Every structure is written in structure tokens, then in C-alpha cells.
A and B are shown apart, each in its own frame.
Chain A
Amino acid sequence: MTKLSDWHIMGVLAIAGLGLPFLAPGLITQLSFLWLMVIFALTWDMLGGRMGYNSFGNILFFGIGCYAAAVVQRDAGLPYFEALALGLALGAVLAVAAALLFGAALLGIRGHYFAIGTLGLGITAAEVAAGWDYVGAGSGMALPLFPGALGQREFFFCFSLFAVAIVCFLFLRWLYGTRFGLALNAIRDDQDKADAMGLRTTPIKVFAWCIAAFFLSISGGLAANMIGFIDPRDVAFAGATFGVWMVLMAILGGKGTLWGPVLGAVVFHITQELFWTYLLGWQRVALGLLIVVIVVFFPQGIMGWIAERRAAREGAAS
């Protein structure tokens, strides 16, 4: 894909992101969740797709963002927006600190040990939060009411999440163009080789996780306020939903490609909303089935499939 068409797609998306809330106010919550999904898929793909570290634990950082915002907004005694800003900042600091700590410990582990280890990390966080009274234990936490007029809340969080998604996308797009991006790919393709060629693989891996942690925690703080309520297992550290969806969306779109995660998030989110609308009661079963089907039958993803088609056509032409 050339640079020009990249900007074209971004232009169309920007217009959609800014215009749709006004044109179709009924869809605004779905649209907000869509941007959240885009952030999920983009940040997961940095490790899973670009670096070859398939994490089931990225939800940890989202949850830290949720809880940091909720606690600050409850206890700081500041006006709404000041408290929100402070909560987001604190969440980001805590999430990055967690990424540094756990990254240094876990990112040396490879393959399925890393996947299961990070899964354990996410669930540990959920269970600790579910037993910890200071953060509301199993009953979760409610967030303060949005001060603006009725309906403004949805607009505010929709545009905020949209902005985070855009910044995240542009940042990663720039990052993948630097030597750092190449270093991530090198680690994915052969980490022992990368080590033996003198790359400082550990700081590179930990830094990548910190970036993911930063964007996830910000989106967590915003999402918590948008939803208005957090629950340890079903919202903040929702490993079996958000945590798996991250992986699934990146795979569905195409791992390790720039637009794959975005595309995967859009397709997945729409499918999921349709399930919720038309498969009442069975939507979660259908989602489980969808995971199996995508992983087993479509692991190359949409972008991979397009590339295969293109290669086949060129092969036929030449």
C-alpha cells in the first residue's frame, strides 16, 4: 500500500469518526466501543504480530487504567475533569510501571509459556481486584456522574476514544518505520539471532510492552467513565472477553500489518454487535464458535488473504 492511499483511508476514517456521531446519534455507543476495539487490536498486534510475543495478559493494563481512574475520581475530591485527567495520568504511570516490572520478568519466557503466563497475569489481577475491599472487591466500582448535559457524555467519550485511537495508530505507524520497528520484526523472526547480532532485545521488548500499557491504560480510564461502572472480571480485567478479542481482532485482520488490526476490529465489532442483536442468549456461544472458526480456518487474516490472492494473480499473470 502506498503512502498516498494510507492517508486516503485515514481521511475517510477521520470523516466517519467525526461525522457519524452527529449523523447517527443512536450508534454513538457502538462507535465508542469500536474505537476501543481498534486500540485493543493495535496495541496487541505490536507484541503479537510485530514482535512474536502472543500475550493474553494485555488486559492487565486496561484494568489498571480503569481502577486508577475510578479510585482517583472517588478519593481525590477534585472537580470531574481534573479528577479524570489525574486518574488517567496515574493509570498511565501505574500501567507503565507494571509493564516494566512484569515485562522484565515475563518477556524472557517464550512461546506457549509466555502465552499462558500472561493469561495467568491477567486473571491474577482480576482475582486480586475481586477480593480487595479498597477497590470495591467483587461488586466493582461506580464512577462519578458526568457533569454536562444529557447526551454530552456519550459525545465526549466517543471523541476522546477516537482521539486516542488516532494518536495510537499514528504513533505506531511512525514507530514501525524506525529501526525499532525492524528490531521488533527481528525478534519475532529469530530472537536468538537478534541477540547474537548485538540487539538489546530485553529493553526493546519491555519498551514495546510499555507503549501498549500506556495506550491501554488511557483507554481503560476513558472506557470506565463511559460505561459508568467497573467490575473486576467482566469489565476491567475481562480476560475471557476483551482479553481474547484483542488477539482475535488482530488475527482476523492480519497479524503484523498496519491496517490489519484496524480492519479486524471493525469487522469483529460489527459481527459481535449483530450477534448481540440477533442471537439473544446465544451470543456468547456464537462468539466462542467464532474464535475457533477464525483461528482454525482463517489464521492468515484478511490482509494475509488479500496478499495471497494478489500473489496468486501475479503468479498466474507471469
Chain B
Amino acid sequence: MSVMLEVREVTKRFGGVVANDRISLTVTQGEIAGLIGPNGSGKTTLFGCITGTLPVDGGEVYFEGQPISHLRAGPIARLGLLRTWQQTRIYGEMTCAENMAISAREAHGGLISLLKPVPAATRIRASDLLAFVGLHEKRDERGGRLSFGQQKLLEFAMALMNEPKLLLLDEPTAGINPTLINGLIDRLRRANAELGVTLLVIEHNMRVIMNLAHRITCLAHGEVLAEGTPDEIRDDARVLDAYLGVA
């Protein structure tokens, strides 16, 4: 198993606040890695640094051995590294089917390749993936009219449509109806196993992340606090302290 993503001593400051302080972590090809930590510990900031939406102040990020911390979001996405957002980002005025169609990998191409209608194969794939996340009946509905949870699912399906090698998910279960969470865990696992997408997941719901992840990294105050299997993390006193605020 090769290392897919390596974050090496990444530092990110906002004014005087150090949001990420020399954070290092690795994600191995094919795994589901978890990223946890209390609010404000720098998880989402780290996602921004990795995927090119925030400039890093120090350190380096390697994706499949290639340094990417100087690249912007577009080129990084075209390498096959994608993220989703905690507050979800979809194309609100477009239908679900259109959201999916423009998220296909072919849309990375140059202008000439864009000047063609959406191929039938893409439509079928889009329709299959919408069915996969349970939004097939909503395919002609405008994205902005979906509920928050449904938008979250749509965003996930759009990411899969893009055929990423590594997908960074920012709190995939936040705002999702609790009765649907088990189904979502199952879909994340299937995306990992059947579609071969490596996952790095930020999650606050401990039950979900302990079930899902093969390996977990815990951040606190912008630093890596602990790393290990779910069982090791569960038993780590420092992690408990960080969450419960016991000094």
C-alpha cells in the first residue's frame, strides 16, 4: 500500500492565530482515514491547505509524491484530489442531473472538449450515482430546493462523479437525519471499496467515525494530538481530555 497523501509539517496562521501548527499526517491508498478534534482545532483549515483554497505558511503537502502546496484548487482537483464542504456547496440554480453532469471528469478538459453535449454514458452514470445516494426521484429538481441533508448527499454524489483518487469529506453526516446515517456510512464504505476512492473524513459523530475509519488522527489547538486505530484513539486519555476540556 503506497502513501497517497502526505502532509508534512504544515503551518497556517490567520494573523496571530496559529490554526495549523506543523501538522503531519499521511493517508495510504485505499484506506478510510479519520480526522477528529474539538471545534476550532484546525481540521477544516487543514482541508483548505491541502486542496488549494488557503495558502500555507510553512511545510509541504505531497499528493502521490508530488508537491502541491503551491497549486490552486483547480489543478489539484484535476490531479484527483477533491473535497466537500461542511456547509455543502452545490450549484443551487441547476437541477440535480445538471449538477452531476458538469461534475463529471470530462469537464476538466479544455474548451474544445466542453463544446459538446453531455454524452449518454455520462447521463447514465449520473443517474446511477444519484440512485446510489437515494436522490434519483429528485434528478429534475433544482439543487437549491433540496433539504440540507439532501444537498449533502448530492455534493457527495457530485464528488464521486468526478472520479477522485482521494476524497476529503468535511462532516458528511452533519445535518443528516439520524435514521439515514447508517445508510450513509454504508455508502461511504461502498464508495471506498467498490469505486476505489480513498477517503479522509472529518467527523464529529464519534459513533460514525469509530465505525468507519481504519485509522484516526486527532487534532487539538492546531496540533496533532494522537494518531492510531479507532480502538487506540478511544482509549487515549489525551483525546478524552481534549474533548471534555479536562486540563
A/B contact in complex, CB under 8 angstroms? yes
The answer to whether A198 and B162 have CB atoms under 8 Å apart is yes
Is B182 located at the chain interface by the 8 A CB criterion? no
With A195-B73, A199-B102 as given contacts, are A204 and B118 in contact (CB-CB < 8 Å)? no
Give the distance in Å from the alpha carbon of A204 to the alpha carbon of B116 in the complex: 14
Asked whether A190 lies within 8 Å of B92 as measured between CB atoms, the reply is: yes
A74 at the interface (CB under 8 A from B): no
Query: Residue among B82, B91, B93, B114 with the most chain A CB within 10 A?
Result: B114
Give 1 or 0 for each of A165-183: 1 = CB within 8 Å of chain B CB: 0000000000101111011
Q: What residues on A are CB-neighbors of B109 within 8 Å?
A: 200
Nearest CB in chain A: distance from B78 CB, A: 5
- Point out the residues of chain A lying under 8 angstroms from B116, CB to CB: 178-179
Interface of chain A residues 196 through 213 with chain B (CB within 8 A): 196-201, 203-204, 207
B101 to chain A: which residues have CB within 8 Å? 179, 182
Q: B115: which A residues are within 8 A, CB to CB?
A: 175, 178-180
- Residues of A143-198 whose CB lies within 8 A of B: 175, 177-180, 182-183, 185-186, 188-190, 192-198
CA distance A185 to B107 in the complex (A): 13
Do A196 and B106 form a contact, CB below 8 Å, given A182-B94, A190-B89, A190-B90?
A: no
Q: Contact: B114 with A183, CB < 8 Å?
A: yes
Q: How far does the Cβ of B162 sit from chain A's closest Cβ, in whole Å?
A: 6
Within 8 A of A (CB), among B71-110: 72-74, 77-78, 82-83, 85, 89-94, 98, 101-103, 105-110
B180 to chain A, nearest CB (A): 23
Residue of B74, B83, B94, B98 with highest tally of chain A CB at under 10 A: B74
Q: Give B residues with C-beta under 8 Å from A.
A: 51-53, 72-74, 77-78, 82-83, 85, 89-94, 98, 101-103, 105-111, 113-118, 143, 158, 162
A-B contact pairs, 22 of them (CB 8 A): A175-B115, A178-B114, A178-B115, A178-B117, A179-B102, A179-B107, A179-B113, A179-B114, A182-B101, A183-B114, A185-B94, A185-B102, A189-B90, A189-B92, A192-B89, A193-B91, A196-B52, A197-B77, A198-B74, A198-B78, A199-B74, A200-B109
Beyond A185-B94, A190-B91, A193-B90, 8 additional contacts (C-beta under 8 Å) are A179-B106, A179-B114, A183-B102, A183-B114, A185-B102, A203-B110, A204-B111, A256-B93
Residues of A in contact with B (beta carbons under 8 Å apart): 175, 177-180, 182-183, 185-186, 188-190, 192-201, 203-204, 207, 256
